[in-house]
Amino acid sequence: MTDTVNEIGLAIIGCGTIGRIRAKYAREYPGIKWLGLCDVNEELGRQLAREVNADFFTADAEKLIKRSEVNATMIITEENKHTEPTLMAVERGHKLFIEKPLATEARESLQILDAITGEGLDACIGYTQRFRRRFLAVKERLQNGQIGDVHTVTTRAFMNRMVPIATIAKTNERHNLTPMVVSGTHSLDMSMWLMEGKTPASVYARSVDKVLSEWGTKDSTLGIFTMDDGTLFSMNICWALPEVWPGTVYGLEIGIVGEKGVIDIEDTHRDLVLATEEKLPGGYISGGYEAPERHVDFLTSYPPGDLWNNQLYGPMREETIGWFSRIMMGTPTPHATAKEGHNNLLHTMAMDLSAKTGKEIALPIDPEEFYK
Ligand SMILES: NC(=O)c1ccc[n+]([C@@H]2O[C@H](COP(=O)([O-])OP(=O)(O)OC[C@H]3O[C@@H](n4cnc5c(N)ncnc54)[C@H](O)[C@@H]3O)[C@@H](O)[C@H]2O)c1
């Protein structure tokens, strides 16, 4: 851990869905003495700045990042737009929180990692699910050796197709907005974190695109990693479930088998179901996309947390406030590092490359391999 700060002057770059959540937490945190916001969408950004009573707003990230009050920056722009503001904040030596994926280009991801490492900065990546109690409990039991040495891990993720449609509608730069790079990265990060100490040696994957090809992405990617000690890890995601499926669910199942035991995680959220004749809100709404009528929700399935009284409780609160404590008090936290964020991008992209070429990909992989 690098040195701490006595008080935080925080820049938030990106005031969309997630920037809005984190800006509200920031305003409530007593250690944050100055809060500046930035969004290229001025109307949206100014609206949030008014709501959280921000000290400063601009549509130009550089103007905010260069302010003398700022010593910490959160990059919460859309997936393709993390690199430029991140590199500016690195240059200023800020504490950094960067949303996942670290970048959507392998070269940019390496450039960010090298810059952060070169400056010796502390950077955390937004793998919010690490902050859920169930996964922290699993991590602790694995660390205590209760199931012995792990040799098999299976991970399966299911999502409503609203998520890719809404994500992809924002941009024409779609070539890397695949199920693994955008969303599978969460469950891949979780699986790799739970397998900490093992290093992927190769991956073989296949994809299918029967439904979402018209949107410029794929439906599913299924892959098998072989780790350096022979452990097998199967990583599968489908983000093309019908729009009438509960809107915000990231339905996850993870099985971890060790030489002495097993941990079987059912995280599909089918244990708290609401069904109604009323029309339920869309889930993900973006860029004019309107979801069809839905009547069933799995409660507590929205990955950032749950609303009560216009306040969001859950992992994103723990993660955001945990980061403030980390940079002010040096509190150890389970945040993903920049190195892990970079590896997650390369591993998700390696699955896509394997699916494209039909070949097993040796790991670790040089980012330049993705441009051949
Ligand atoms: N940690 C999690 O659980 C989680 C959940 C959802 C999304 N995310 C990630 O958070 C990030 C943001 O997602 P979102 O859903 O809030 O997207 P969003 O589209 O709602 O918001 C992104 C905002 O960034 C702004 N922006 C784009 N380029 C900019 C620039 N150069 N300078 C300033 N502002 C700029 C856009 O105008 C937009 O308002 C993405 O990387 C996404 O993958 C993380």
Residue 3: inside a domain: no
Q: How far is the CA of 280 from the centre of ligand 1 (A)?
A: 24
* Cβ neighbours of 28 (radius 10 Å): 12
Index of the ligand 1 atom closest to the CA of residue 20: 16
Index of the ligand 1 atom closest to the CA of residue 129: 3
CATH number of residue 200's parent domain: 3.30.360.10
Q: Are residues 93 and 148 in the same domain?
A: no
Per-residue pLDDT, 365: 98
Token pair, residue 369, equals 């391999």
Q: Are residues 96 and 154 in the same domain?
A: no
Residue 341: inside a domain: no
Residue 2: inside a domain: no
Per-residue pLDDT, 1: 55
Index of the ligand 1 atom closest to the CA of residue 19: 16
Residue 355: inside a domain: no
Nearest protein CA to atom 27 of ligand 1, as residue:
77
Region 78-107: mean pLDDT is: 97
Residue 369: inside a domain: no
Region 48-61: mean pLDDT is: 98
Ligand 1 surroundings by CB, under 6 angstroms: 13-19, 38-41, 44, 61, 76-79, 81, 99-100, 126, 128, 170, 303-304
Identify the domain containing residue 295 by its residue range: 133-303
Q: Are residues 283 and 178 in the same domain?
A: yes
Report the number of distinct structural domains present in the chain. Answer: 2
CA–CA distance, 252 with 70 (Å, rounded to integer): 38
Q: Are residues 152 and 170 in the same domain?
A: yes
180 phi and psi angles, rounded to 5 deg: -75, -45
Convert the pLDDT of each residue in 245-268 to its tens digit: 998 899 999 999 999 999 999 999
Q: Are residues 113 and 139 in the same domain?
A: no
Residue 112: inside a domain: yes
Per-residue pLDDT, 282: 67
Q: Are residues 112 and 18 in the same domain?
A: yes
Classify the C-alpha dihedral 75-78-83-84 as positive or negative.
Answer: negative
Q: How far is the CA of 201 from the centre of ligand 1 (A)?
A: 32
Q: Are residues 61 and 150 in the same domain?
A: no
Q: Are residues 192 and 322 in the same domain?
A: no
Residue 362: inside a domain: no
CA–CA distance, 85 with 326 (Å, rounded to integer): 22
Q: Are residues 119 and 151 in the same domain?
A: no
Q: Are residues 84 and 154 in the same domain?
A: no
Residue 67: inside a domain: yes
Nearest protein CA to atom 38 of ligand 1, as residue:
16
CA dihedral 321, 322, 327, 333 (to 10 degrees): -170
Residues in a beta bridge with 123: 96
Per-residue pLDDT, 226: 98
SS3 content of the chain, % helix, strand, coil (to 5): 35, 25, 40
Per-residue pLDDT, 248: 86
Q: Are residues 245 and 322 in the same domain?
A: no
Region 107-132: mean pLDDT is: 98
